[in-house]
Structure 1
Amino acid sequence: MPRTVAPARRHSARSRRLRLTAAFAVLVAVAGYLTVQYVTGGTSSDQCTVESADGSAGDGRTYRMSSEQAANAATISAVGTTRGMPERAVTIALATALQESGLRNIEHGDRDSLGLFQQRPSQGWGTEKQILDPVYSAGQFYEHLAEVPGYSRLPLTVAAQRVQRSGFPQAYAKHEPDAALLAAALTGRTPASLNCEPPRSTAGTGGMTKVRAALVRSFGKDVLPATDGAGAETPAAGAAAGALSVPVDTPLRSGKGGTAQRGWELAHWAVAQSEALGIDEVAYAGKTWESGSGWRTERKESGTTSIRIQLAR
């Protein structure tokens, strides 16, 4: 005769299995999250440094990062300002990327999370290829942030969480000071505050075509002067072989910063991208950045209508 199991015992066993399954799922999620944090929080070469406006006096804030992180941060900032987003939005985006990926464009994460913001294809953020494109993923973040009512007045953790739906929303808060420092530099509000020292062995690996393409990808097609039908630069766009002059008086700059802030935004973008694009020198407003030596003040004040980008000679 079959053994009869009491309903109460069957219910207890089923509840115990459900609790164990739920606990296992939580452990898997936490393990995935910790794996991402471990991988993205590892050591880096710290080739780039951002200082606050009073950093030279020794009492300012400093943030160090790799060339890869600087390039990704500059892309996030450029996409935001090109969309007309304020500096606060850039700060929120940078803090989110610092927490989610350590500003690295990683190809793994919790479940199917990918990229700078750990966006998930299964949740409608785009295809894997799209999400692993920093310009696309930053654009998606800003698109969702813009839909959050009053996001600029919300605490950073609240604004970021409305976009991300993270299981660890309070984790964004610890990145706010660094993100604000980065945003001030990358939006151009603090002149000559970003310095990178890319290894000389990688200089010259870009090519001006690659530099122009990266500028247009980050800032839009109007960032550069018109080209002829063959795609060649007009004389005003190239000052010399291996050099590019980028105008700063464009309609892309929104807000109160004006032309000077736009110029420093472009200059800092070029410095941040120096290793990836083989940029050797950036000059704007009487200051010149050179790979291996950083920023210096020129004896003769240069103009503020354009920045000059020079590849390695």
Structure 2
Amino acid sequence: MGLGKRIAAVVVPLGLVVGGVAYGVSRHDSNDDKTLGECTTKVRGLSVILTDEQARNASLISAVAIRRGMPAHAATIALATALQESKLYNLRGGDRDSLGLFQQRPSQGWGTRQQVLDPVHATNAFYEALAQVPGYAAMPVTEAAQRVQRSGFPTAYAVYERDARALASALTGYSPGAFWCHVRSPESPAAPSVRRAAALREALLPAFGPVGVTVGSDGRLQVPASSSAPRGWAEASYLVAHAQELGISTVAYRGRAWDSGNNAGWHREESARDAAVLVR
């Protein structure tokens, strides 16, 4: 497929079959905007559309690479693998005893069934195996993925390489403001800021490690971005991907902001700072 719109999430809109199990794209109702529940990545003319579930998994895979100090190429390899193996869904079955995002097999030492079905464990296990591949950082994506997975279809990962590169670039922060989601705006009143800050710290922990979240004078939560713009954008993208479950309505960083309730992407926001990701 050439440049333009690639739909990694909605490969078969209402009947995706992976590992013999059918998975559909959920819609809220027939009257909703058809982009509700979708997340978009746009990098160098290529668009990749994910469901919100896929986006949460993709953002976790990318964030764990950052936490482990691995290059963006590692995230590309992992994302291409997960796209091929599970379409970025945490599958509870597959070929023989294969499970989870990477279709890892407990019988082959990837962990217990419960561990393999934990996206955090599965992602870390993948990166631990990848780190043992000599020269993986300069290796073609499909070759590196095959060295980890040892699949019966070693060239299949190449199908998703371009999508994976776009996702990795956006979700590791090297393509600023290139990822957003269309989710409903929170309807219930926001919880007290202190409780929301604690929930945000808990949500960021498995992806980025301990992150200090504070409450600003304007009531917005502040996630420190240190001096690294890519790290800040990675945090911002991760929060957008998890906005629905965290009750987030706005994420702002480095002069731009994302708002829930529409599919317009990031817009200019003068109050958005460089030193912290601001969340409301």
Measured after TM superposition, the shift of residue 83 of structure 1 is 0.2
Say which of 202, 206, 209 aligns to 1:220.
209
Contact 1:116 1:137 (C-alpha < 8 Å) held by counterparts: yes
2:120 pairs with 135, 141, 150, which one? Answer: 135
Q: Which residue of 1 aligns with 2:278?
A: 308
Write out per-residue CA displacement over residues 207-236 of structure 1, whole angstroms, 9 at most, x where no aligned residue: 623322110111111x226xxxxxxxxxxx
Match status 1:93 vs 2:75 = no
Q: Does 1:49 align with 2:47?
A: no
Alpha-carbon offset, residue 204 of structure 1: 7.3
**TM-score, normalisation: structure 2:** 0.82
1:134, distance to aligned residue in structure 2 (A)? 1.1
What is the CA–CA distance in structure 2 between the aligned matches of 1:124 and 1:189, rounded to whole Å? 34
Distance 1:309 1:131 in 2: 32
SS at match of 1:245: strand
User: What SS does the aligned partner of 1:265 have?
Assistant: helix
Give the match for residue 66 of structure 2.
81
- Answering whether residue 253 of structure 2 is matched by residue 284 of structure 1, we say yes
* Structure 2 spans left out of the alignment, 5+ residues: 1-15, 28-36
C-alpha deviation, 1:43, in angstroms: 3.9
Q: Give the 3-state SS of the residue equivalent to 2:222 in structure 1.
A: strand
The TM-score normalised by the length of structure 1 is 0.74
5+ long unaligned stretches in structure 1: 1-33, 55-59, 226-236, 250-257
1:151, 1:309 → 2: CA distance? 36
Distance 1:107-1:203 versus aligned 2 partners, 3 A rule: farther
Question: Match for 1:67 among 52, 55, 64?
Answer: 52
Asked if residue 162 in structure 1 is aligned to residue 147 in structure 2, the reply is yes
| Alpha-carbon separation, structure 2, partners of 1:120 and 1:35 | 19
Q: Tell me if 1:36 matches 2:18.
A: yes
Asked whether the equivalents of residues 203 and 279 of structure 1 are also in contact (C-alpha less than 8 Å), the reply is: no
Equivalence map 1:265-284=2 (5 Å): 265-284=234-253
Query: Could you tell me how far apart the structure 1 residues matched to 2:128 and 2:92 are?
Result: 22
Kindly provide the CA deviation profile for residues 34-79 of structure 1, in whole angstroms up to 9, marking residues without a partner as x. 9525647754556110001x4xxxxx11000101100100000001
Number of residue pairs the alignment of both structures matches: 250
What is the CA distance between 1:240 and its match in structure 2? 5.8
Question: Quick one: which amino acid aligns to residue 278 of structure 1?
Answer: G
8 Å CA contact retained: 1:288, 1:296 = yes
In structure 2, do the counterparts of structure 1 residues 277 and 203 end up closer, same or farther at CA, with 3 Å as the change threshold? farther
Q: Is this contact kept in 2: 1:202–1:275, CA < 8 A?
A: no
User: Equivalents in 2 of 1:122, 1:240: separation in Å?
Assistant: 53
Q: For residues 145 and 242 of structure 1, what CA distance do their matches in structure 2 show?
A: 42
Offset from partner CA, 1:137-179 (integer Å, 9 cap, x none) = 1100000000001112222111101111111111110000000
* Bigger strand share: 2
Q: Deviations over 1:1-20 (max 9, x none)?
A: xxxxxxxxxxxxxxxxxxxx
CA contact (8 A) 2:186 2:248 kept: no
- The one-letter code sitting in structure 1 at the alignment partner of 2:225 is V
SS of 1:79 mapped into structure 2:
helix
Partner amino acid, structure 1, of 2:208: F
CA 1:245–1:166 in structure 2 vs 1: closer, same or farther (change >3 Å)? same
* Correspondence for 1:108: 93
